[in-house]
Every structure is written in C-alpha cells, then in structure tokens.
Amino acid sequence: MAVFQAALINEIEKLYKKKKAVVAILLSLAVIVIGQLAIVGVRSGFGLRGAGSVEFPMLVLAVVVNIILPLFTALVAIDSFSGEFSQNSMRITLTRPVSRFKIFSAKITAIVLFTLATLLLLLIFSMLAGFIFNTNSGTLDSFARTVLSYLVSVLPLVVLALGIVLLANLFKSGISVFFVSILVFIVLKVLGVVFSQYSSLLMTSQLDWYNLFLVNSFPLGKIVRQFFLMLGSGIMLFIAGFYFFDKKEF
Amino acid sequence: MEKVIEIKNLTKLYKNGRGIKDINLDIFQGDIFGFLGPNGAGKTTAMKIMTGLVRPQSGDVNILGYSVTEEYENAMEKVGCLIEIAEAYPYLSAFDNLKQLARYYPNVDHQRIDEVLEITGMSKYKDEKPTKFSLGMKQRLGLAAAVLSRPKVVILDEPLNGLDVEGMIAIRKIILHLAETEQTTFFISSHLIHDVELTCNRIGVIYNGEMLNVETTQTILSNYATLENYFVSEVEQYGRVSSCAD
C-alpha cells in the first residue's frame, strides 16, 4: 500500500506541477462566469427569469459533463500515458520498485481525483453564483439532489477516461489518441440519437445519468441498472488498458 | 562470494533479427562488471530485461534472489539503474525529480537527495529544471537518481555518454568509491574500452547477441597488452568459429 501511495502522490504532484490540470480546472470555472453573464444578460435584456439559484448549477453541469469535462479528462489521461510514452519519462517510474499494476492504478486514481476535484469546484462555484446572482428558488431537497447529481457524474466520466486510457495504450501518438477519442465520442453521440432505445448502453449517453437522480419518483431500478452497466464497462476497459500497458516495451 | 545477479538462458529476438540469444551470466557481490560490445550487440536489450522495461522471450534474471519477471518489486528494491539516456521530468526541478523517486524508498530523505546531488556535482543546479541542462548534466542527474537509494546493485547503460573528461573521472571515482566502501555491485555497459579497463574488475564480451567470454580484468591484462586487444581477439575468434560453422 505504501508503494501505491507513493506512486499516487507522484502522479498528483505531476498533474499539479504540469499546470495543464490547473488550467483545465480554471477554464471549467470560466464556464460558470460565462453562463452567469449570459443569464444576467437574458434577464435584463428580455426580462426572462433565466435560472433560479438551484437551477443554475444544473445548467452548468449539463454543459460541463457533456463537453468540457470529457475534453479535459481526455487531455489529462492522454498526457498521463501518451505524453510519458513519447518523452520516455515512463522509464523513470518503471525502473523503481513498483509494479506496473500499481503505476497504472495510481495514474487512473489521479485522473479520477482530477475529475472529482473539478466537479466539486464547479459545484461550489456554480452554487455560489446561483445564490448570489439569481432568485432564490431552492429547497433543501433540490439542494441535496444537485449535490448528488454532481457527485454521481464522476462515474461516467471515469468510464470515459478508462476508454481513453485504453486508446492511449493502443496508439503511439497522443494526437492520434485525441482525435480517435473525439471521433468515437461523436459517433457514440450520433448512435445514441439514432438508436435511442439502446442509448443507455452507450458511455456518451451515460454522461447524462445524473438526470435519473432528479426525477421525483427516484427510479431505483434504472439507477441500479445504469450503475452496473457503467461498472461492467469500467472494469472491462480497466483490464484491457492494463493488459496493453503491461505488455508495452520501453 | 554471494551471487547478486543471475542471468539464465536469456533470449529476446526482435523482428529485425537483433537481440540476445541464450545468455548466461553470474555477477557477484563487489563486482564492477563491464559489459562490452559493439553497437547493436544486445547490451541495452539485456539491460532493459534486467530492469523490467522489456520482457524476455525465454529465460529469466534473478537479482538478489528475486526474479525480475515474477517478483519485480522485490527484485528492484535494492537496485539503481540508468538505461540509455537519463530521463527526467522537464517540468520539475532537479531536486523535485529526485524527490519523486525518493518516495519509493522509506530510508531516503531530503538530506540524502542533497547528498547525491553533491556527489554528482549537481548541487548548484538543484532548483533548475532539466530542460536547460546539457547532456552531461542530465547524465549526472541520472546517476544521482541511480545511487539515490543506496542500492546494492547499480545497472548503468553507457553512463559516460555526454560527459566531459572531468565528469568521466568524477563518475569513475564515485563508482570505485561505492564499490569499495559499500560493496555496491555495478553492471556497466560501455563502448569506451579504455574507461572500462580503468573501472571494471570483470569483463564480459557480447557480440551479435551472444555472450563470448567473461574474464577478470587482471587475467585479461596479464595475457593482452590492452583490453582493446583482448576485445578484438575475442571478436575475431568468434568470427572464425561462426564462419567455420557456416
């Protein structure tokens, strides 16, 4: 466990010192500013309400979870694997007394923590913006559901990151991984629209699963089914990614 | 004497036909083993397998009794290495680069990091990032990383690459000092025959992926004027044997 802990601290330090992750978080927060400005503009220009204090964070989540966070998660995941493959800096860690499984797991955990930290920061700042600038329309129940929606959104993003990590271990260049990831993402989004009855199976549609937690009847069956679907695909992608990482020669 | 590294029937052949074939080698405690061979002979391949960067097709390497392929963490616990070019994270300072590695060893603290930076002459650059380092400075940092954990075994692939004369002498002194005071075992590959002659006490010649001979430097120099003469003689002998076999 101490070895894994060391590997994880190293990965987090690298993420922080590379500043890419910090910039990604700052850009995500910029969405709140832009979103809030748009709502204030709509309100003063057209006299429309725009969004209430609790609705605003959900509006932010809808944008962030479908566009911005997948993009930044991809960038961080690609940098963590393809970036180190191309610079040969993966050797620095690989020649230390730490197994490849622990290195791989530490990298994945660091990506998960990055995604979670971004979501939590977005939640805090969007709520603050919502309460400061918008009409107060929230109840304790809607507040709890908002927090839950942000927290559960980490799961589909992790599955997405695992898919990108698998691609990073299959392709040599980081740019190829990035473009293939975008292409696959678009194809899955289109498939989700065309075959809407099967969309719950696609990881791009699963990004919106937080909506299940907003339904008043709380569809437990659907939530459990979606959870196991994501868990299953996550496990498969993790194993496949590790298989190729373990076979890699440096 | 205690066997520190045991290479058994090690084979790894690449698609282009290069690699290593059925290599057997024993390295004992306190050895400064020189791994000599021309470019493409298989030195780096063997060393990459020894450090887990590449998997062998057959055979195994045991370091301090642990198999590199089966018990990697235990095998590498007391090993320091530098394979090909010394790599460092460009966005971290020299000190932070070593701090990353230090986390894997409970007995390595900041004082030890400063100590190895001092030994390798990198103290004054400790807060600088490696992007501005010359090849020699990167190599020194790589060496600092290799000896950071006070390892019992140090595997160095062309450690003198990019070093000036002063640097070469300094590194040679470090190697000899560690071998003498801490009984550190060194496995060094180099194409600089003269330097191998001055540093190593046992020498193995690899050619065309095959291990030709292993001999002590003392025995070699009692039979040949220089190590270079011995190397040429071994290679020529191999050439005659393989052409007869053809």
pTM of the model: 0.88
Chain B residues whose beta carbon lies within 8 Å of the beta carbon of residue A88: 85, 87
Closest CA to B129 of B88, B100, B99: B88
* ipTM of the predicted assembly exceeds 0.85: yes
Residue with tokens 């440096």: A250
Chain B residues whose beta carbon lies within 8 Å of the beta carbon of residue A105: none
Cβ contacts of B216-222, under 8 Å, gap ≥ 24: B217/B34, B221/B197
Give me the pLDDT at residue A49, please. Answer: 58
Give me the pLDDT at residue A166, please. Answer: 96
**CA nearest to A95 within chain B:** B51
Domain assignment of residue B48, yes or no: yes
**CA nearest to A250 within chain B:** B53
Give me the pLDDT at residue A168, please. Answer: 94
Domain count, chain B: 1
Give me the pLDDT at residue B119, please. Answer: 85
CATH number for the domain spanning B46: value is: 3.40.50.300
**pLDDT < 50 stretches in chain B:** none
3-state secondary structure of B58: strand
Chain B residues whose beta carbon lies within 8 Å of the beta carbon of residue A6: 103-104
CA distance A166 to chain B (A): 20
Rg (C-alpha) for chain B, rounded Å, is: 18
CA distance A24 to chain B (A): 17
pLDDT classification of A44: cutoffs 50, 70, 90: low
Give me the pLDDT at residue A200, please. Answer: 78
Give me the pLDDT at residue B132, please. Answer: 86
Chain A residues whose beta carbon lies within 8 Å of the beta carbon of residue B103: 6, 9-10
Domain assignment of residue B104, yes or no: no
pLDDT classification of A50: cutoffs 50, 70, 90: low
Give me the pLDDT at residue A145, please. Answer: 84
Chain B residues whose beta carbon lies within 8 Å of the beta carbon of residue A85: none
Chain B residues within 8 Å of chain A (Cβ atoms): 48, 51-55, 72-74, 76-77, 79, 81, 83, 85, 87-92, 96-97, 100-101, 103-106, 145
A6 and B103 in contact by Cβ < 8 A? yes
Domain assignment of residue B114, yes or no: no
| pLDDT per position as a tens digit, A214-240 | 887 878 888 899 999 999 999 999 999
At residue A39, φ and ψ (nearest 5 deg) are -65, -45
Domain assignment of residue B91, yes or no: no
A250 and B90 in contact by Cβ < 8 A? no
- CA–CA distance, B169 with B160 (Å, rounded to integer): 10
Chain B residues whose beta carbon lies within 8 Å of the beta carbon of residue A245: none
At residue B90, φ and ψ (nearest 5 deg) are -65, -20
Q: State the amino acid at position A189 in one-letter form.
A: K
Interface probe with A: pick from B15, B53, B154, most Cβ of A within 10 Å: B53
A19 and B85 in contact by Cβ < 8 A? no
| pLDDT per position as a tens digit, A120-162 | 988 888 888 777 776 555 677 777 888 888 999 999 999 999 9
- Mean pLDDT of all residues in A95-119: 94
**Closest by Cβ to A13, choosing from B55, B87, B100:** B100
Across all residues in chain A, what is the average pLDDT?
86
A92 and B106 in contact by Cβ < 8 A? no
Domain assignment of residue B27, yes or no: yes
Q: Where are the domains of chain A?
A: 2-247
Angle between helix A174-194 and helix A69-78 axes, rounded to 10 deg: 150
Query: Residue B167 sits in which domain range?
Result: 3-85+150-245
Least confident of A46-50, A86-90, B33-37, B140-144: A46-50
